[in-house]
Amino acid sequence: MTTMDEPRIGVYVCHCGFNIAATVDVEAVRDVAAEQPGVVCARDYEFMCSNAGQDLIKRDIEENGVNRVVVAACSPLMHEPTFRAAGEEAGLNPYLVHIANIREQCAWVHEDRVAGTAKAESLVNGAVARVALHEPLEAAHADVNPTTLIVGGGIAGIQAALDISDAGNEVYLVERQSTIGGMMARFDKTFPTLDCAACILTPKMVSADRRENIHLLTESEVESVEGFVGNFKVTVREKARFVTADCTSCGECIKVCPVSVPDPFNQFMSSRTAIHKAFPQAIPSTYTIDRQGKPPCMEACPIHQNAAGYISLIAEGRFSEAARLIRRSNPLPFICGRVCYAPCEEICSRENVEEPVSIRALKRFAMDWERDHEPDAMPEPPEHDYAEKVAVVGSGPAGLTCAFDLATTGYNVTLFEKHDRLGGMLAVGLPSYRCPPWIVERDIDYVRKLGVDMKTGTELGRDFTLGDLTDKTDGFGFSAVFLAIGAHDGIPLGIPNDDAAGVISGIDYLRNINLGLPQETGARVAIVGGGNTAMDAARAARREGAEVTVLYRRTHSEMPAEEDEFEDAVAEGVRFEYLVAPVEVLVSDGRLRGLDCVTMELGEPDASGRPRPVPIPGSNQEREFDTVILSISQRPDTKWYGNGENKTRTLAFSDWGTLEVDAESLRTTLPNVFAGGDAVLGPATVVEAMGQGRRAAEAIDRYIRGRPLDQFSSHMPPADPGRGFEERPFEQSPSYRDIPTAPRAAMPKRPVADRLGDYEEVDLGYSEEDARREAQRCLHCGVCAECRACSEICPPKAVQLDMQDTVTTLDVGQIMVATGFKSFDSHRITQYGYGRYDNVVTSLEFERMLNATGPTGGKVLCKNGDAPRAIGIVHCVGSRDEHYNRYCSRVCCMAALKFAHLAMERTDADVYQFYIDIRAFGKGYEEFYTRVLSEGSTVIRGKVAEVVPALKRNGGGPHLIVRCEDTLIGKYREIPVDMVVLCNALEPQADADEVGRIFSISRSPDGFFMERHPKLDPVGTTTDGVYIAGCSQGPKDIPDTVAQAQASAARVLSLIGRGQVLIDPVRATVNEKLCGGCKTCLSLCPYTAITFDEEGEVAIVNEALCKGCGTCVAACPASAITGAGFTDEQILAELTGLLAPVG
């Protein structure tokens, strides 16, 4: 609706008492305004916002035909609504009223009356020019959704929830922790009445739980908020608890959980189990499992072995359960416990403290214990009874694992092995001092117990072909085949005479020794290569009595061998030479004489990423050797392939000779033939081969049952498992620096002198005490170790470990944010010794000590268990401090007095308080202060300079000295105490800026959420419909928090009561005649309020979504978009009026 009527402007200049009139000549401003075009009357008045002032305006509108109003007064943020309402009451559209800010932005900030007045005149001129172009605007109405969202389940959130629910409205209470109650739940007594905090809090918590219209969403966080007041759409993520509501809080699970971590509720002063309830009166009372992702050791393991689980059980001496847990995911645990290269240890977080946990050795310990105490372990019976048969070729770790898994699933498995001994590389490659034959037999026996048929001395190629296996009419009729033939052919060096007698590949050498076949070892042996096979061959040759030299072409840091193997080889007398490689085998009479070696130097990196060794020309040297063992690599034996094979069946091989398979399903080019292990990976490790065997078993099962070959549940380690411990939020765990160091338990070994005489085991295994102690070094990176003891024991079967997070969208009308505070980190003030000296505690730690449910059962005790003889309470730790927080935390003085009172009540200690000022401002506070003084607490006015440990003479004396000034007597003092309590500051939550952004709440300079007005609107924010309360707005005590909560609730209820909100008409509209369809505006709108009408080829603004920022208005090249209330013309008119010369 456009008014074409002549603007008749009324200008009203406010004195605002002295506020404006002192520095601005308001009469002069009035007179200048009266001269401006369009102005029909100009008035000044003491207080325009008063009824009389507003009446001036109304009368001019009603009687003098004023149809535009300028009020030159305080900020529009203060009184724009007031004057708009006045206009409306007189029948004028409220948007025809404009405010010129001559107070906050003029009178109050310019001392110079001349300059201030001139500026006020310009501002008014600008306002007059602008308002002449104002048009009436109609505000739309929107309904208000009566449901409310409260974020934060502390006392503020709970109180507000109860109040809003009392009025019959729905409330969603979202809380990040597993229980509501917030910080108040951690207190013992509250000042000044000394009410027990839990006693007054828990009835409200229970109430909140019981009310039908209050919905508790714990372990939940708000992810995003969209919409506007009365109509918000909030996305909330509820984290999985892993325990359903069937939980009866019986506590059986806690008895069996082996994981103990520092308890954040008790400020890390005691421990709690992974499955837990935060405190006895927690609401909801359902337990929760603290799971911080998968432990990195489990992620890094190719068979997803749950190391954290069995380690936790070993730490508690529950060895039988540990062995059973190991067997749940590992069919070859004896082997792994001795020879696995332990990728888990490489990623173990304990390395950040001193060294990784000795995971492999602990597994060995558990299995050896089982051998000695429960030797008849039986595998679980198969899940199904399938008719199909599967063939596995090769009895190495890949083949055995595949066979085990398939048999457990229910298939009939036959294992074919070409040698007379089962085990593949385990039997023929690994020497017995590392992998004793009895462990291979034991693990294979376990697989056999599942009914796997194992045929030895049966060779692929010689005794049967691949086709025979699968042929249904003339062959065996297997439904699928798994090729796990390993990589048993040594790769030749490719130098002249490398096939001479006396030269042998490492793999053949070891096989002959292991199988007891004839193998000569000369007096002087050279080993060429630097991998594990080279180490094995070297150490075996030493046992055969030779003098052994390892020739490696790069340097030690590029050697792929395990460091343990290398160290043992060195201990056993193997000599190592680096940057040397043979270029020719020297022979005489067709037999090895020695090697011609050249010196190498390191050049640019090659394909493996390691520096390429480059021979130095002319550096040849003749060396004499009796036996040369080449251990440079292996590849699969493929002689069987193409041996009378049907030529239409083709397998693919890589350039290195390994079988090519699909990366996920391990299937070859033949649909029913799968392959894995060294045959596919090249010479790899036992556990990697097992991982492939496991994956192949799953793939074969799906293939046979006709299910798709993707989305496998069996594990392939991710590229970067990550280190778990430090990723936990600080509130949940201390950091590495707080962990006391404990060295890794050394593996007892046979003395070197004894070793060389035989092939008996070198590593002897941990004792029970060593194993338990070593297991206790585990940091519980993922907290829950997934041992499943809880789910097995839970009587109502409430534990559900596969629970997922749920994400819901809530429609609410108003939001209250009451997210509380965090404590200042007292480590930062190093001179107070927190974290370094025993018995320096924070206020929350002292609270927990005082609490009957706390770590000391309510007794105030020093670290060593003695009662303190003197306690020093330090005020203002991190508050009122230029270095940390300048503000006062408001509650600490009263908390300190409370601590003093309780300490004197419960101990005989002398209590000292070190204060700057005593802030006892509230109801009953001063009286409490006087009372505590009369009870005998000594107060010393002066800041504490430092806390130092006291020198102990003859074992007695105080623990700590507090060094402070006493300003009232003007002296430096040293006060001996046994305990220091730091009253540390209240700070905004660590993620306050993120939370602020989600809810569009600004922050004050100190970081707390900003109220709309510190005096008149302490619970509102600049975003309509979003309110704040409690310590998230600033430090405060419980009475003030509850008051704010109720204030917030009242605001919410008033909005609900109104039922409707006005939608600001400051919005953009597209003039379709001018729009050229360039679409520039579309991508600019953050609310996606602009769409393109394909038919009309113009942009259209959705009024409901547009928030009126004006970005599109500014961007439109055709000036086709109008920003109502802030049009180009209006702004330019204001600019013109402002800059026009005055007077």
Partner 1 sequence: MVTTADHGTAIETPKVETWQPRIVAFLCNWCSYTGADLAGISRIQWDPSVSIIRIMCSGRMDPTFVVKAFRLGADGVIISGCHPGDCHYQEGNYKTLRRVHLLRRLLVGFGIDPERLRLVWVSASEGDQWAETANDMAREIRTLGPLRLET
The binding site for partner 1 (CB under 8 A) comprises: 18, 22-23, 75-77, 101, 103-106, 108-112, 115-116, 118-119, 122-123, 126, 996-997, 1000, 1002-1005, 1010, 1022-1023, 1066, 1084, 1086-1087, 1107-1111, 1113-1115, 1123, 1126, 1128, 1131-1132, 1134-1136, 1138-1141
Q: How far is the CB of 1067 from partner 1 (least distance, A)?
A: 10
Give buried/exposed letters for 499-513 (b at 16+ CB in 10 A, else e): ebebbbbbbbbbbbb
Give Rg (Cα) of the chain.
Answer: 40
Please return the burial class of 873, using the count of CB atoms within 10 Å of its CB with bins 0-12, 13-18 and 19+.
buried
Q: How far is the CB of 1014 from partner 1 (least distance, A)?
A: 9
Q: Residues, the chain, total?
A: 1143
Q: How far apart are CA 260 and CA 252, in angstroms?
A: 15
Indicate the residue among 853 and 1000 with the shorter CB distance to partner 1. Answer: 1000
- Amino acid letter at 168? G
C-alpha distances in angstroms, 1136 versus 36, 102, 125, 1142?
13, 18, 9, 12
In degrees to the nearest 10, what's the CA dihedral of 69, 74, 76, 79? -80
Of the candidates 563, 569, 567, the one whose C-alpha atom is nearest the C-alpha of residue 542 is: 569
Indicate the residue among 131 and 541 with the shorter CB distance to partner 1. Answer: 131
In the chain, helix, strand, coil percent, each to 5? Answer: 30, 20, 45
Indicate the residue among 18 and 438 with the shorter CB distance to partner 1. Answer: 18
Of the candidates 501, 531, 540, 555, the one whose C-alpha atom is nearest the C-alpha of residue 634 is: 531
Q: How far is the CB of 18 from partner 1 (least distance, A)?
A: 8
Q: How far apart are CA 419 and CA 851, in angstroms?
A: 69
Indicate the residue among 794 and 1112 with the shorter CB distance to partner 1. Answer: 1112
Location of structure tokens 């409901």: 1104
Indicate the residue among 140 and 1132 with the shorter CB distance to partner 1. Answer: 1132
What angle (nearest 5°) sits at the alpha carbon of residue 241, between those of residues 236 and 243? 140
CB 125 within 8 A of CB 1140: yes
How far does Cα 1060 stand from its chain's mean position? 41
C-alpha distances in angstroms, 952 versus 861, 921, 957, 961?
19, 41, 6, 11
Q: How far is the CB of 1037 from partner 1 (least distance, A)?
A: 23
Q: How far apart are CA 96 and CA 81, in angstroms?
A: 12
Indicate the residue among 1053 and 1133 with the shorter CB distance to partner 1. Answer: 1133
Indicate the residue among 217 and 1026 with the shorter CB distance to partner 1. Answer: 1026
Indicate the residue among 471 and 1128 with the shorter CB distance to partner 1. Answer: 1128
Indicate the residue among 587 and 1105 with the shorter CB distance to partner 1. Answer: 1105
- Amino acid letter at 708? P
Q: How far apart are CA 1017 and CA 1035, in angstroms?
A: 17
Residue 6 is classified by DSSP as: P
Indicate the residue among 571 and 1084 with the shorter CB distance to partner 1. Answer: 1084
Q: How far is the CB of 124 from partner 1 (least distance, A)?
A: 11
Q: How far is the CB of 110 from partner 1 (least distance, A)?
A: 4
Indicate the residue among 108 and 766 with the shorter CB distance to partner 1. Answer: 108
Q: How far is the CB of 818 from partner 1 (least distance, A)?
A: 20
- CB-CB neighbours of 226 under 10 Å: 12
- Amino acid letter at 997? R
Q: How far is the CB of 1013 from partner 1 (least distance, A)?
A: 10
Q: How far is the CB of 114 from partner 1 (least distance, A)?
A: 8
Q: How far is the CB of 350 from partner 1 (least distance, A)?
A: 38
Q: How far is the CB of 1029 from partner 1 (least distance, A)?
A: 19
Indicate the residue among 938 and 1004 with the shorter CB distance to partner 1. Answer: 1004
Q: How far is the CB of 117 from partner 1 (least distance, A)?
A: 10
Q: How far is the CB of 231 from partner 1 (least distance, A)?
A: 17
- Amino acid letter at 851? N
Indicate the residue among 122 and 395 with the shorter CB distance to partner 1. Answer: 122
Q: Take residue 1005 and report the two structure tokens written for it.
A: 């300079």
Of the candidates 1035, 326, 365, 207, the one whose C-alpha atom is nearest the C-alpha of residue 767 is: 365
Q: How far apart are CA 724 and CA 712, in angstroms?
A: 24
Q: Which residues pair with 217 in a beta bridge?
A: 174
Q: Take residue 1067 and report the two structure tokens written for it.
A: 């919005």
Q: How far is the CB of 104 from partner 1 (least distance, A)?
A: 3
Q: How far apart are CA 843 and CA 1039, in angstroms?
A: 19
In degrees to the nearest 10, what's the CA dihedral of 1049, 1051, 1054, 1060? -120
Q: How far is the CB of 1112 from partner 1 (least distance, A)?
A: 9
CB 267 within 8 A of CB 837: no
Indicate the residue among 516 and 1005 with the shorter CB distance to partner 1. Answer: 1005
Q: How far is the CB of 882 from partner 1 (least distance, A)?
A: 15
Indicate the residue among 112 and 346 with the shorter CB distance to partner 1. Answer: 112
Indicate the residue among 102 and 300 with the shorter CB distance to partner 1. Answer: 102
Indicate the residue among 751 and 1117 with the shorter CB distance to partner 1. Answer: 1117
Q: How far apart are CA 856 and CA 27, in angstroms?
A: 73
Angle of helix 307-315 relative to helix 768-775, nearest 10 degrees? Answer: 120
Q: How far is the CB of 233 from partner 1 (least distance, A)?
A: 15
Is residue 333 classed as helix, strand or coil in its secondary structure?
helix
CB 811 within 8 A of CB 149: no
Is residue 835 classed as helix, strand or coil in its secondary structure?
coil
CB 676 within 8 A of CB 398: yes
Q: How far apart are CA 395 and CA 400, in angstroms?
A: 6
CB 810 within 8 A of CB 222: no
